[in-house]
Amino acid sequence: MLDPKKKTQLGKRLNRIAGQVHGIRKMVEEPRYCVEILTQIAAARAALAGVGKFVLEDHLNTCVSTAIRRGAAEREIKELMDVFEKF
């Protein structure tokens, strides 16, 4: 689970991404040049990847490390592998 400070950081990032997506929608409606739209889509995808990395790093440093200390590493590793398949 994320601590309150990290939740705040993620909330800010996600709000920025939501703004990017809203901007992309406006670009499509206007309409704007396709390459400009694609560039903004790439930026939003990169921002989401950054959020994923942030959450993954926190998970490794908290939940996974705790599971390893408790001798439950196999379950955590399987769970992580299942998540990686979705990426």
Encode the chain (87 residues) as per-residue pLDDT tens digits: 888 999 999 999 999 999 999 999 999 999 999 999 999 999 999 999 999 999 999 999 998 899 889 988 888 889 889 988 887
Domains of the chain and CATH, by start = 4-86 (1.20.58.1000)
Query: Which residue shows structure tokens 């399987």?
Result: 78
Cα–Cα dist 48/21, whole Å? 11
> Which candidate, 54, 31, 34, places its Cα nearest to that of 42?
34
Phi-psi region for residue 33, left (φ > 0), alpha (ψ -120 to 50) or beta?
A: beta
Type of residue numbered 46: A
Quick one: DSSP state of residue 87? -
d(CA 25, CA 37): 9
What is the per-residue pLDDT for 1?
A: 80
